[in-house]
């Protein structure tokens, strides 16, 4: 039971990250490495707010999101205005964010064990009966993840969202429609990194600590989730793409947890992840080529 709960919690938290990666990688067609920096940014901001500043945990959610939006905006400006290539803009931001995240959090490891988090505070503890405590986390994460997903779905059906979908597909059309495609890209990057940062915020509160290295490989996990979700669940039309991305994240985490449970050594897990990733990429790309 603990394993299932853990997989669901991690799967959904990283599912929000996957939503962000979905926007940049699939919709904007922009491989965004900023994610490795914006994920810990949300985490760093949250622990600073909860720990040192002693603010109520619920404020960390909008703070992390808008913080991530700012980060994404910077990446966008570097790419659009300074004309740096997509991959390199992300790398520049990711590198700079290492220092910024250390500075925001205060140091490379910040525990918040005895502080109130979004999962563990007066209000929540008073509503939930103690025999259901182990489900607290997963329910709250589920609510937040669903909120993020539905908001994103709604946004992609608005006029502004249509532009976002258009710019990754055919940016000439966006110019033909009389819209500055650079601006649309910046908006897309902002929303995506806002989601990633939100994901980092939840992660830090679930782990009750911030560690500087949690961002390493975040974009890879996000990409894996997006690709697993979209490739495996493509045929099922009832499931929206955003849901399939979250499910992909849960499946990915489940595979890793199972491998470890079965006794596979930690070293081997990375290789297995890489192979799994490759297989799915090949299957996924093949479908695209049709």
Partner 1 sequence: MLKLINISKNYNPGSVNEICLFQNFNFTVEDGAFVSVVGSNGSGKTSMLNLICGSIGTDYGSIMVNNEDITRQKGYIRHRRIGRVYQDPAKGTCPSMTILENMSLADNKGKPFHLGRGVSKGKIEDYKVLLRSLNLGLEDKMNIQVGSLSGGQRQALALLMASMTPIDFLILDEHTAALDPKTAERIMELTEYIVSEKHITTIMVTHNLRYAVEYGSRLVMMHEGKIILDESGEKKKLIQTGEIMDLFNKISVECGN
Partner 2 sequence: MLLLSGIEMEEEKKDMIKKVSVLMMVVITMVMILAGCGSKEGYSIGISQFAVHGSLDNCREGFLAGLAEEGFVEGDNLTIEYVNAQADAGTAALTASNFVTKKVDLICAIATPSASTAYNATMNTNIPVVYTAVTDPVAAGLANEDKTSVGNVTGTSDVLAVEEQLGMIRRILPDAEKIGIIYNTSEANSVSAIADYKEKAGAYGFEIVESGVTAMSEVSLAAADLVNKVDCITNLTDNTVVSALQTVLDEANKKNIPVFGSEVEQVRAGCVASMGLEYYELGKQTGKMAAKILKGEVQASALEFEIITEPSLYVNTAAAEKIGLILADSFVESAYECFDEIVVE
**Residues at the contact surface with partner 1, assessed by CB under 8 A:** 155, 157-163, 165-166, 169-170, 172-181
Q: Which does 170 bind (CB under 5 to 8 A by kind): partner 2, partner 1, none?
A: partner 1
Q: Which does 262 bind (CB under 5 to 8 A by kind): partner 1, partner 2, none?
A: partner 2
Q: Which does 165 bind (CB under 5 to 8 A by kind): partner 2, partner 1, none?
A: partner 1
Closest CA to 69 of 156, 196, 160, 223: 196
Q: Exposed, middle or buried: residue 102 (CB in 10 Å: 0-12, 13-18, 19+)?
A: middle
Return the structure tokens found at 39: 């994920």
In whole angstroms, the minimum distance from the beta carbon of 144 to partner 2 comes to 19
In whole angstroms, the minimum distance from the beta carbon of 290 to partner 2 comes to 8
Three-state SS across 48-104?
Answer: HHHHHCCCCHHHHHHHHHHHHHHHHHHHHHHHHCCCCCHHHHHHHHHHHHHHHHHHH
Q: Which does 1 bind (CB under 5 to 8 A by kind): partner 1, partner 2, none?
A: partner 2
Of the pair 177, 268, the CB lying nearest partner 1 is at 177
Q: Which does 162 bind (CB under 5 to 8 A by kind): partner 1, partner 2, none?
A: partner 1
Report d(CA 145, CA 5) in Å as an integer: 15
Q: Which residues lie near partner 2 (CB under 8 A)?
A: 1-4, 6, 98, 102, 107-114, 133-134, 207-209, 211-214, 216-217, 231-232, 235, 251, 254-258, 260-262, 265-267, 269, 280, 282-283, 286-287, 290
In whole angstroms, the minimum distance from the beta carbon of 84 to partner 2 comes to 23
232-270 residues labelled b (16+ CB within 10 A) or e (exposed): bbeeeeeeebbbbbbbbbbbbbbbbbebeeeeeeeeeee
Of the pair 181, 253, the CB lying nearest partner 1 is at 181
Report d(CA 120, CA 208) in Å as an integer: 10
């Amino acid at each position: 039971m603990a394993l299932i709960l853990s997989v669901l919690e991690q799967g959904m938290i990283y599912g929000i990250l996957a939503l962000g990666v979905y926007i940049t990688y699939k919709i904007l067609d922009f491989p965004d490495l900023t994610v490795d920096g914006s994920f810990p940014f949300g985490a760093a901001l949250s622990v600073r707010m909860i720990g040192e500043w002693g603010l109520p945990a619920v404020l960390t959610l909008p703070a992390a999101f808008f913080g991530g939006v700012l980060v994404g905006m910077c990446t966008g400006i570097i790419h659009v205005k300074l004309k740096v290539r997509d991959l390199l803009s992300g790398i520049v931001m990711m590198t700079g964010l290492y220092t910024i995240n250390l500075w925001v959090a205060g140091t490379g490891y910040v525990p918040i064990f005895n502080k109130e988090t979004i999962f563990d505070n007066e209000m929540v503890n008073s509503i939930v009966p103690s025999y259901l405590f182990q489900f607290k986390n997963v329910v709250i994460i589920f609510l937040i993840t669903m909120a993020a997903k539905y908001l994103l779905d709604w946004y992609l059906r608005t006029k502004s969202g249509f532009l976002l979908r258009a710019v990754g597909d055919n940016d000439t059309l966006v110019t033909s429609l009389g819209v500055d495609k650079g601006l649309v890209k910046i908006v897309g990057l902002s929303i995506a990194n806002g989601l990633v940062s939100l994901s980092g915020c939840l992660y830090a509160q679930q782990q009750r600590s911030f560690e500087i290295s949690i961002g390493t490989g975040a974009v890879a996990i996000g990409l894996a989730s997006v690709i697993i979700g979209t490739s495996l669940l493509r045929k099922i039309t009832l499931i929206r793409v955003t849901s399939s991305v979250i499910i992909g994240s849960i499946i990915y985490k489940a595979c890793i947890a199972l491998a470890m449970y079965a006794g596979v050594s930690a070293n081997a897990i990375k290789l297995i992840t890489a192979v799994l990733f490759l297989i799915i990429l090949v299957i996924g790309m093949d479908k695209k080529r049709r």
